[in-house]
């Protein structure tokens, strides 16, 4: 029975919108002065992240000067930021129909990527970097589309193309590290995280990822060192304490693990992952009643987390509450039919604890 399950944070964000800057150049003096005034007001609203106000101004600007390319482009940008991807595609397409614009192809590629339309996204990214061979983010976008399709080796080549053009492209380096991990090249992944940490020493994201990679390699002591380094940068991040506690559990240092779990609770008592993992630890040290209490609280915080029911069922079974365990396995199965809960439920049915 596998007790400890790594409560993984999202190691990778495939969304690259953050690197996509709106066009802030002023409109040409040839443009209708009313349209220009509205357009420049919209740019201020975009800078202030008032996207609704910006969209209204940009639409009005375009009405004053039909097919005003900068307004259409920035409408596409606003649509991307507000996750209106179909509208973004429409506005970027209008820009492309006016002029073959590398940034518009890139923006439309991002929109297709968000909709998992990978072939269309790749075609646009390719067009973008054919128009501007130094556009690192277009290579990265292409790589992200491949990565999302689990074509990790080819994705690495595209991320490398991006990094060749921009050696500080942190998202490309981070994504390449993720692909290395998926291919089992953990040493290469760790080197990438160390590079990122040297480039961005104030970001814990990369140190945490290095620790998680060590944890995957069952190098718990190295993982603990990485998490401890991350805590020095951000001592109020409860997820770091969760991960370090899991690493301590792998070394069977449950006393240290308990301290870290408790510290995580003190930082954020509403994170259900803390209680699930602390409950797992308490199963390991045979504190079944305490474990059940942790899972109870995790379920109160998040009634749809099947792992809380599954692990509470394990704790109840060890606490000699077979019927209660079977009820929890059944709930876990209803939430996640393709999980290991299915095996527990089948056994409970054979024993007639549930129908």
Range of the domain at 285: 271-355
69 within some domain = no
330 within some domain = yes
332 within some domain = yes
254 within some domain = no
353 within some domain = yes
339 within some domain = yes
326 within some domain = yes
> Which residue from 52, 71, 70, 50 is spatially nearest to 60, judged by alpha carbons?
71
User: Which residue reads 């993992």 in tokens?
Assistant: 277
The runs of H, that is alpha helices, within the chain are 33-47, 51-64, 69-81, 85-98, 102-114, 118-131, 136-148, 152-165, 170-182, 186-199, 205-216, 220-233, 238-250, 254-267, 272-284, 288-301, 306-318, 322-335, 341-350
- The count of other CB atoms within 10 Å of the CB of residue 340 is 16
Domain count, the chain: 1
The CATH number that applies at residue 298 is: 1.25.40.10
Stated pTM of the model: 0.75
283 within some domain = yes
Would you give per-residue pLDDT tens digits along the chain (355 residues)? 333 332 322 223 334 444 555 554 444 444 577 777 888 887 888 888 888 887 888 888 777 556 667 888 888 898 889 999 999 999 899 999 988 889 999 999 999 999 999 999 999 999 999 999 999 999 999 999 999 999 999 999 999 999 999 999 999 999 999 999 999 999 999 999 999 999 998 889 999 999 999 999 999 999 999 999 999 999 999 999 999 999 999 999 999 999 999 999 999 999 999 999 999 999 999 999 999 999 999 999 999 999 999 999 999 999 999 999 999 999 999 999 998 989 999 999 998 888 8
């Amino acid at each position: 029975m596998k007790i400890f399950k790594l409560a993984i944070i999202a190691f990778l964000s495939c969304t690259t919108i953050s690197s996509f800057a709106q066009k802030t150049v002023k409109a040409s003096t040839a443009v209708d002065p009313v349209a220009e005034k509205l357009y420049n007001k919209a740019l201020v609203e975009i800078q202030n992240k008032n996207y609704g106000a910006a969209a209204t101004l940009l639409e009005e600007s375009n009405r004053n000067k039909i097919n005003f390319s900068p307004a259409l482009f920035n409408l596409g940008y606003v649509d991307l930021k507000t996750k209106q991807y179909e509208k973004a595609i429409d506005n970027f397409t209008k820009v492309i129909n006016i002029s073959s614009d590398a940034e518009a192809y890139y923006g439309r590629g991002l929109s297709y990527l968000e909709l998992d339309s990978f072939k269309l996204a790749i075609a646009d990214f390719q067009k973008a970097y054919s128009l501007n061979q130094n556009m690192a983010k277009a290579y990265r976008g292409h790589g992200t589309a491949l990565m999302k399709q689990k074509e990790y080796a080819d994705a690495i080549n595209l991320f490398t193309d991006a990094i060749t053009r921009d050696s500080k492209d942190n998202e490309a380096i981070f994504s390449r590290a993720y692909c290395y991990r998926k291919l089992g090249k953990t040493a290469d992944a760790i080197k990438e995280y160390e590079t990122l940490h040297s480039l961005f020493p104030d970001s814990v994201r990369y140190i945490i990822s290095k620790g998680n990679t060590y944890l995957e390699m069952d190098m718990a002591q190295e993982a603990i060192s990485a998490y401890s380094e991350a805590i020095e940068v951000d001592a109020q991040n409860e997820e770091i304490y969760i991960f370090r506690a899991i690493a301590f559990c792998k070394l069977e240092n449950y006393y240290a693990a308990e301290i870290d779990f408790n510290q995580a609770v003190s930082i954020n008592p509403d994170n259900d992952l803390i209680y699930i993992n602390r409950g797992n630890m308490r199963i390991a040290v045979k504190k079944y009643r305490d474990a059940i209490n942790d899972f109870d609280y995790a379920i109160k915080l998040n009634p749809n987390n099947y792992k809380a029911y599954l692990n509470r069922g394990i704790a109840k079974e060890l606490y000699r509450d077979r019927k209660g365990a079977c009820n929890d396995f059944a709930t876990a199965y209803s939430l996640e039919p393709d999980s290991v809960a299915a095996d527990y439920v089948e056994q409970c049915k054979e024993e007639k604890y549930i129908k």
